[in-house]
Amino acid sequence: MFIFYLPSGGEAGRVECYDKTPGVGRITELSDAGKRGYMILDAKKYVDLPTDLPSESWGSIVLSSPNKKNYKVWDETNMGSRFLFINRYHAREMKAYFAWMRRADLAAAEGNAAVRAELEKSWRVMQERMHEVGHAPRYVFGERSYETRKGEAQAALNTLTTGNVSYLLSVFAGSVEWRDDGTTHCLVDLVRLEGGAIERCGNRPVSVAVRSKMIDQLHDIVASDPRIFNPEHYATSNGIVFEILVLAALQRPASAWRLLQGTRAWYSGARVQRRSVVETVALVSIASEQFTFWGVECLYNSCRP
């Protein structure tokens, strides 16, 4: 728990960090004395947030994953909470964080070419890691955690089969809630969607490398079992085939044709009302026997890491 003090009466502002119980005691003490402050609480999976804080008079922010279990009790006891989805760090922010960690070396690099060269080499390594696992500082700036995360992502990709790929595509479509099972995290990033008064979120591949590997894996699934195009066989009336093909087309145009190689016919089945990543009509050109995508409309940016 962090308590922020604003400058007041000639006293400098400051930030204090506490564990749960001592922090609650300190806030209660300050509130009883008529002091006002601001709280930031980190919601953890197996730790309940304190519920006896003076939230009516103290401002507060609760940081949490999308798992509602983390903040359910807090939300019920603090009516009027507003939810905001926050994107992961931008590449510029990651570079600024790297510069702050290596600030002593940056100062020394002013007149030392060797130090400057080492810094540039180190940053290139960080860029390669971001390309592989995404923009999460804990997995980029620690070598051991990076290797672990990279292995977790590959293991999750290796488990994709015709049977469970529909779940992953449902995550991209936003039709299922975030499942805090430790597997989706390394493949999918939650992103804030722009526009509208209601706070909304979507999903996208966590990194460029994961996106590319995901498309390759989907190709292997289609190549090994062409029946995936038969809606009667895999009950794809909810449009899972659309998701696979159009997600591929939007991320890497050439991959759509690659997925469709060898496919001669595709029966669309009955029309179903649904919410999807894309709205698409796929038409078969009888003359050329080629598939043509028409009227592709992105509902939100879920296709670029």
pLDDT tens profile 81-138: 788 888 888 999 999 999 999 999 988 888 889 999 999 999 999 999 999 999 999 9
Q: At what angle do helices 253-260 and 240-251 cross, to 10 degrees?
A: 140
pTM above 0.85, yes or no: no
Q: What percent of the chain has pLDDT over 90?
A: 18
What's residue 277's pLDDT?
Answer: 38
Instruction: Report how far Cα 31 is from the mean position of its chain's Cα atoms.
Output: 37
User: Distance between CA atoms of 275 and 238, rounded to whole angstroms?
Assistant: 9
Region for residue 195 given its phi and psi (left: phi exceeds 0; alpha: psi -120 to 50; beta: otherwise):
left
Q: What is the pLDDT of residue 94?
A: 94
From the CB of residue 167, how many other CB atoms can be counted at a distance below 10 Å?
Answer: 14
- Is the pLDDT at 212 greater than 50, yes or no? yes
> Higher confidence at residue 208 or residue 140?
140
Per-residue confidence (pLDDT) for residue 301, from 0 to 100: 35
Residue 207 makes CB contacts below 8 A (sequence gap 6+) with 130, 131, 132, 133, 134, 153, 305
pLDDT of residue 120: 94
Q: What is the pLDDT at residue 92?
A: 93
In contact, 6 and 32? CB cutoff 8 Å = no
Q: What is the DSSP letter of 299?
A: S
pLDDT tens digits, one per residue of 275-302: 443 333 333 333 343 333 332 333 333 3
The stretch 153-157 carries a mean pLDDT of 89
The confidence score (pLDDT) of residue 242 equals: 52
pLDDT, greater one: 61 or 49: 61
24: its two tokens = 């609650």
Q: Which uninterrupted H or E stretch holds 97?
A: helix 91-101
Residue found under tokens 């903040």: 71
Give residue 283's pLDDT.
35
Sheet containing 59-63: which strands, arranged edge to edge? 14-17, 2-5, 38-42, 59-63
Q: Phi and psi (nearest 5°) for 46?
A: -110, 15
Q: So where are the chain's domains?
A: 2-77, 91-141, 165-298
Backbone angles phi and psi of 237, in degrees to 5: -65, -20
Say how far apart CA 1 and CA 21 lie, in whole Å: 9
Rounded to 10 degrees, what is the CA torsion of 59, 197, 275, 190?
A: -40
Residue 239: its H or E element = none
CA distance 6 to 38: 9
DSSP 245-297: HHHHHHH-HHHHHHHHTT-------S------SEEEEEEEETTTTEEEEEEEE
pLDDT tens digits, 2-35 = 777 778 777 788 888 888 788 888 888 888 888 8
Q: What is the pLDDT of residue 147?
A: 96
Mean pLDDT (the chain) is 72
pLDDT digits (tens, 9 = 90+) for 216-244: 777 777 666 655 555 455 444 445 555 55
Q: Hey, what amino acid is at 281?
A: V
